[in-house]
Structure 1
Amino acid sequence: MTAYQTVMVGTDGSESSLAAVDRAARLAAVCEAELVIACAYMPMRGHELAQAQDQLGAEAYQVVGSAPAEHTLRIATDRARAQGAMKVRSVAVEDEPVAALVRVARECSADLVVVGNRGLRSLAGRILGSVPADIARKAGLDVLIVHTT
């Protein structure tokens, strides 16, 4: 087996997803691989944004407006470089997380997708599906689900 050439990681700006970025960056550094950091977002404005932020409370980082994709990617890129990743690229994708991450993984010819385990063991995750579980089923390539919660 050869080393990974392109490692992709998804982030939504949460501490859990940034921990996944750290792990992916360390792995990319060891493999001398390119690290692609992807952030999926669905833009909201005005009343819709305020209502979503009010209802989400501590989860409001997921709403563009409270943590825009560009800001999230800048933080993630800085963290990845601090972990030793040399070749880092970031991409913001307007779509829901699973579809966006699977598409980016294919477009960048990723050998490995790294995601955190947040939502994997929750009741909502079991009923509705979770990003890590759905990525593992749909990516069609190696997926590393790291313990981040």
Structure 2
Amino acid sequence: MGSYQKIVVGTDGSDTSLRAVDRAGSIAGDSSAELVIVCAYEPASREEVRAAADALGSEAYQVVGSAPAESLLRDAATRARSGGAQKVDTIAVQGSPVEALSDAVDDRNADLLVVGSVGLNTLSGRILGSVPQSVARRSGVDVLIVHTT
């Protein structure tokens, strides 16, 4: 197999997930591949929106819908570009990380999925499963699990 053409990486904005974005950006740059950064989110509850409105006033829109994910994605795209990626796309998806990543790989015809290793060596990860473990098991493409902890 030649170099990768389309790479999907997941982020939740955490330092560990951004390490996976850094690695994916570097691989995308080296391969001249398109990089798709995915952030799964769950919308804020009504109580959270009300609390944000009280605390943030006119800035409360930042916690509604996909706005927090969109902000994380902008930062991740900047990091990926600074790591060498030239063509970067971002997707905010309502739902679980495993479903969002799996769907993005399928929808974008990706040939590499990059995720961080968080949860692999935890007790709950071993019993319930972790995002990297679940996507690796389900994926029909190469999966790079970046050591991030």
TM class, shorter-length: 0.7 to 0.9
Greater radius of gyration (CA) = 2
**CA 1:45 to 1:119, structure 2 compared with 1: closer, same or farther past 3 Å?**
same
1:3 is aligned to: 3
SS across alignment from 2:63: coil
Shift of 1:70: 0.4
TM-score (norm 2): 0.86
Q: In the alignment, residue 45 of structure 2 is paired with which amino acid? A: R
Quote the sequence identity (%): 55
Q: CA RMSD in A?
A: 1.9
Written as runs of structure 1 = structure 2, the 5 A alignment for 1:101-120 is: 101-120=101-120
1:138 aligns with 2:138: yes
2: CA distance, partners of 1:44 / 1:22: 28
Gaps in structure 1 of 5+ consecutive residues: 52-63
1: CA distance, partners of 2:107 / 2:82: 26
TM-score (norm 1): 0.86
Shift of 1:50: 9.0
2: CA distance, partners of 1:8 / 1:99: 13
Shift of 1:2: 1.1
Shift of 1:132: 0.2
- The superposition leaves residues 53-77 of structure 1 with CA deviations (integer Å, 9 ceiling, x where unpaired) of xxxxxxxxxxx93981001100100
Q: In the alignment, residue 128 of structure 2 is paired with which amino acid? A: L
Q: In the alignment, residue 17 of structure 1 is paired with which amino acid? A: S
Q: In the alignment, residue 120 of structure 2 is paired with which amino acid? A: L
1: CA distance, partners of 2:34 / 2:126: 33
SS across alignment from 2:36: strand
Shift of 1:48: 5.4
SS across alignment from 1:68: helix
Q: In the alignment, residue 16 of structure 1 is paired with which amino acid? A: T
Aligned residues: 137
2:58 is aligned to: none
Shift of 1:47: 2.6
2: CA distance, partners of 1:21 / 1:50: 33
Shift of 1:49: 7.0
2: CA distance, partners of 1:49 / 1:114: 32
Written as runs of structure 1 = structure 2, the 5 A alignment for 1:1-149 is: 1-47=1-47, 65=63, 68-149=68-149
